[in-house]
Structure 1
Amino acid sequence: MNSIKQRAQALKRWILTQNTTIDATDARRSGQVATLLMMVFGVAMAFGMTPGVSLQTVPLTPVVEDMTANPGTVTPTPGTFIQQDQVRSGDTLAALLFRMGVSDQAALDFIATDSKARVIYQHMAPGKPIRVEHAANGDLVSLRFPYGDKGTLVVSRTLSGFTSSLVGEGDLHRVIQANGTIHSSLFAAADNAGIPDSVTRQLTRLFSTDIDFHNDLRSGDTFSVVYEATQNDFDQVVPGRILAAEFVNKGVTIRRVYYESAEGGGDYYTPEGHGSKASFLRSPIEFSRITSGFSAARFHPILKTWRAHKGIDLAAPKGTPIVAVANATVTYAGWRNGYGNMIELHHANGIDTVYGHLSAFAGGLHAGEKIHQGDLIGYVGMTGWATGPHLHYEFKINGVQHDPLGPEVPRFASTNLTGHARAQFLSATAPYLRQLDAVRGSAIARFE
């Protein structure tokens, strides 16, 4: 230790003698610097001479943990790293990848020009997950990006460059149960119950023959649903098809259950096996209100005269989607006087439906086209003789207009199951109905 002090004192003397013209203040400052250097030098020497401490370089091995639902499904190549992040507001792909340790212009160029890979740029919404495997030098080894219900987009480095492919979702399937009570709206109740919008929209279509979701809902109505889902590579739950559902509207319980026969082709039925598929939907718009009903005499708001109103007017915001109420052939799509943009569909058994005042038609819609029930045909507008955005909807039987909500409109197709087919149906759907009973029972118990 005496040797350390001697070296430090010598260093201090050397610093102070480097400029003989320094004044007292400078001398004090130099002394302070020298003292500081002495302390640093002393500490360094002390650690350098401490027994048992090696100064040999110790290699560090980075550890990257895979945070997916199935940690064993993705294994990094030796010498590479797997990281997962999500798109942030204002992110570019280059910035996102750089944040994850990727610095590879060739990979960015490939993604920007490849017909499959460039959809990443179109779907980079905030919160969207992305997973990369990269080498220590920043080269991209592979990239995985969720592409909606189509699966996962994979970009991979090969010996000859990069490739892109679309792979299906993982094999982890789930069945989810949920229930809700309506206080303000169906979608608000579904959000409170954690039900995705895609499942809620299925729910409205499933019960659209029995319930007018704008006029019929009441506070206190309840619904229960059992639906399938897939857990993807990013630990996201992707909702799928409804397996069973119940709606209690104004005290009336309505149930539907999905069944796919051995011959293929699935459909929804009542728990007893009665076909529930509607011949004609109750409304061509999911959520609307009737502003003018079917009548023999109505004061026309534009013509200012009393005349028959041979249809119903459904108020809805401009751009609201309009769907075909049943399978049909398009007989007319164009402009027609007071109707403005109008579509006429021809259905079986001499039935036609008319849709007027549209703001636009569905892309590619033309006379002679075959369409199916629920297909998009156009959008609500106020073209022609209209004082506000709404849909004028007519229902004709053999050329004569009838009230679209009247008893003449056929509601259900005759697809009842009987005999052996019904026995198979009851056996196959029993588990879904038991789950529906369970989720409904848990909801009742919470309110008792």
Structure 2
Amino acid sequence: MQRGHAPTTHLKCPRIDRSFLETPSHKLLFIAVSTTHGLFSTYRHQTNLQSQLMRLPKTHIYLISFLGVAFALLFVNQYTEPPKKSDESLSPKLDSISAKKQQAIRSDLQILKHTITAGESLASIFKKYDYESRDLYLLTQSEFGTALKSVYPRQELSFLVRGEELIQVKYSLNPLQSYIFDRDGDNFRSESVSPHPDRFLERKHGVIENSLFLSSQALGLSDNLIMRFAQIFQWDVDFVLDIRPGDAFSIVFESLYLNGKKVRDGEILAATFVNQGKSFEALAYATEDGRLDYFTPAGKNMRKAFLRAPLEFSRISSNFNPRRRHPLFKTVIPHRGIDYAAPHGTPVFASGDGKVIKASRTKANGKFIVISHGEQFVTKYLHLSNFANRIKKGKRVKQGQTIGYVGSTGYATGPHLHYEFLVNGVHRNPRTVQLPKAASIPPNQLEEFLYETERNRMLLTSQISNTTD
């Protein structure tokens, strides 16, 4: 035997007498044993196989035959069954084809986002990106198409394009209001989308050191919220001239969230302002016409029929004075109104509900507007740089609506608004005239008002921290 090799066993095939195979049971037994012998080479005793088989009882012969055939068939099936085709082997190819197809579809679609800037219109934006003017016309003819006729700075537009075809336009006014225009054959169908935000209450308290705006900003309050707070008390407090260090304010307001992110401030629900030791308190309440208004705890309307000042101004450059010496003509000419100095283009508001009876221009007044407020009251706005959109004679306006913009037209030494207030045709000092009140809570609704505003008032008057509750 050679070193390094395992021993080899050679098996001989036994000789079988043909007469032995004539008996069916012997033949079957031979097939079984031979198959087992041939497949596994375990039958080592090679001498006289026939004599050994003949000595077995018949029942043993049949049992051995059955087991041998069964074992042989099992072995043959195991090694002769054709391999199954695996679906998994095809999936990478199918996935690859599907991914390529989806990638081709995606690559054919393009999304363009545009933030509107001052002076832009939808027509100029379409021209900039070389979109079809016919599509612009079809968009404006859809159900919500009128929303596209006046777009404003900082609003968002997004365009979905396939090749050179405009598929979709989304116009977002703000996070809580948008319009979607989808191509539908030769037209566009449109829908208004207004997601419902989650609402949370916040309350803040501050003490003024320099100004309301600086103290409010130090608390993290937005400029918009501060402006609305000042508007609530504007009939009682002049936030330019009357503010003193040590004045205090408290505010309860809603914060609106979408997907866990704050998108803007909601309504102011309750507020107080202490000015030079005098306290003012306001509670929000929705009136029968659905308008949210502000009332004192006794149900008196915070709003007067007129604004004390019809703009956000920096200072009073000239007071009401029947014997004022005119700065240009150097002669005594009565000054029957108040001059509010403000930057050129500052919005001017209607001080009360009324009807425009003049929107014109003269050499002395420059561009000016006159509004009639019923039978008793008239207000005048002089030296405007321009009128607001659609403001003309006969136009009805609401209190606080923008009617024009500060300028220096006519006899003016610089940009300012000259404002006059007339009662029964007689000029009165706009700063001191007794202003009529707006409607208060009717006596039969007072109990409901007290019930609805109780929670917000409790939040307002409880101990307030500078953190969000």
Whether TM exceeds 0.5 here: the answer is: yes
Alignment of structure 1 residues 276-425 onto 2, 5 Å? 276-406=302-432, 408-418=433-443, 420-425=444-449
Q: Tell me how far apart the structure 2 counterparts of residues 262 and 296 of structure 1 sit (CA, whole Å).
A: 44
Q: Tell me how far apart the structure 2 counterparts of residues 140 and 317 of structure 1 sit (CA, whole Å).
A: 43
Q: Is the 8 A contact 1:381 1:390 kept in 2?
A: yes
Gaps of 5+ in 2: 1-90, 97-104, 118-129
Q: 1:88 offset after TM fit, Å? A: 9.8
Q: 1:411 offset after TM fit, Å? A: 4.2
Residue 428 of structure 1, aligned match among 422, 428, 452: 452
SS at match of 1:363: coil
Q: Tell me how far apart the structure 1 counterparts of residues 224 and 353 of structure 2 sit (CA, whole Å).
A: 23
- Structure 1 equivalent of residue 296 of structure 2: 270
- Structure 2 equivalent of residue 189 of structure 1: 215
Q: Tell me how far apart the structure 2 counterparts of residues 236 and 281 of structure 1 sit (CA, whole Å).
A: 32
Q: 1:87 offset after TM fit, Å? A: 8.0
1:281-311 per-residue CA deviation (whole Å, 9 max, x = no partner) reads: 1101123321211122111110011222111
Quickly say closer, same or farther: Cα 1:88–1:362, change in 2 above 3 A: closer
Q: 1:389 offset after TM fit, Å? A: 1.0
- Structure 1 equivalent of residue 464 of structure 2: 441
Q: Tell me how far apart the structure 1 counterparts of residues 417 and 367 of structure 2 sit (CA, whole Å).
A: 11
Q: 1:230 offset after TM fit, Å? A: 3.4
Alignment of structure 1 residues 57-68 onto 2, 5 Å? none
Q: TM-score, normalised by structure 1?
A: 0.65
- Structure 1 equivalent of residue 42 of structure 2: none
Q: Is the 8 A contact 1:204 1:286 kept in 2?
A: no
Question: Residue type of the partner of 1:347?
Answer: H
Q: 1:167 offset after TM fit, Å? A: 3.5
- Structure 1 equivalent of residue 263 of structure 2: 237
- Structure 2 equivalent of residue 204 of structure 1: 230
Q: 1:435 offset after TM fit, Å? A: 2.4
Q: Tell me how far apart the structure 2 counterparts of residues 342 and 352 of structure 1 sit (CA, whole Å).
A: 13
Q: Tell me how far apart the structure 2 counterparts of residues 118 and 364 of structure 1 sit (CA, whole Å).
A: 17
Q: 1:171 and 2:200 equivalent? A: no
1:137-170 per-residue CA deviation (whole Å, 9 max, x = no partner) reads: xx99989774326613446688x69966444432
- Structure 2 equivalent of residue 224 of structure 1: 250
Q: Is the 8 A contact 2:203 2:252 kept in 1?
A: yes
Question: Residue type of the partner of 1:331?
Answer: I
Q: Tell me how far apart the structure 2 counterparts of residues 194 and 230 of structure 1 sit (CA, whole Å).
A: 15
Alignment of structure 1 residues 140-179 onto 2, 5 Å? 146-148=172-174, 151-154=177-180, 165-179=190-204
Q: Is the 8 A contact 1:129 1:234 kept in 2?
A: no
Q: Is the 8 A contact 2:197 2:256 kept in 1?
A: yes
Question: Residue type of the partner of 1:190?
Answer: S
Q: Tell me how far apart the structure 2 counterparts of residues 175 and 322 of structure 1 sit (CA, whole Å).
A: 34
SS at match of 2:324: strand
1:237-283 per-residue CA deviation (whole Å, 9 max, x = no partner) reads: 23332222222222322111111246744321112211222111110
Q: 1:433 offset after TM fit, Å? A: 1.4
Question: Residue type of the partner of 2:285?
Answer: Y
1:354-403 per-residue CA deviation (whole Å, 9 max, x = no partner) reads: 11111111112112221111111111111111111111111112211111
Q: Is the 8 A contact 2:391 2:403 kept in 1?
A: yes
Q: Tell me how far apart the structure 2 counterparts of residues 360 and 118 of structure 1 sit (CA, whole Å).
A: 24
The count of residues paired between Structure 1 and Structure 2 equals 357
Question: Residue type of the partner of 1:354?
Answer: K
Quickly say closer, same or farther: Cα 1:86–1:247, change in 2 above 3 A: farther
Q: Tell me how far apart the structure 2 counterparts of residues 382 and 357 of structure 1 sit (CA, whole Å).
A: 5
Q: Tell me how far apart the structure 2 counterparts of residues 174 and 372 of structure 1 sit (CA, whole Å).
A: 29
Superposed CA RMSD in Å reads 4.5
Q: Tell me how far apart the structure 1 counterparts of residues 153 and 318 of structure 2 sit (CA, whole Å).
A: 44
Which is higher, the Rg of structure 1 or of structure 2?
2
- Structure 2 equivalent of residue 247 of structure 1: 273
1:216-238 per-residue CA deviation (whole Å, 9 max, x = no partner) reads: 22233332222334334694423
SS at match of 1:421: helix
Q: Tell me how far apart the structure 2 counterparts of residues 312 and 146 of structure 1 sit (CA, whole Å).
A: 41
Q: 1:257 and 2:286 equivalent? A: no
Q: TM-score, normalised by structure 2?
A: 0.62
SS at match of 1:301: coil
Q: 1:188 offset after TM fit, Å? A: 3.2
Moved more, 340-349 or 356-365: 340-349
SS at match of 2:408: coil
Quickly say closer, same or farther: Cα 1:368–1:222, change in 2 above 3 A: same
Moved more, 260-269 or 422-431: 260-269
Question: Residue type of the partner of 1:321?
Answer: P
Question: Residue type of the partner of 1:339?
Answer: N
Quickly say closer, same or farther: Cα 1:140–1:190, change in 2 above 3 A: farther
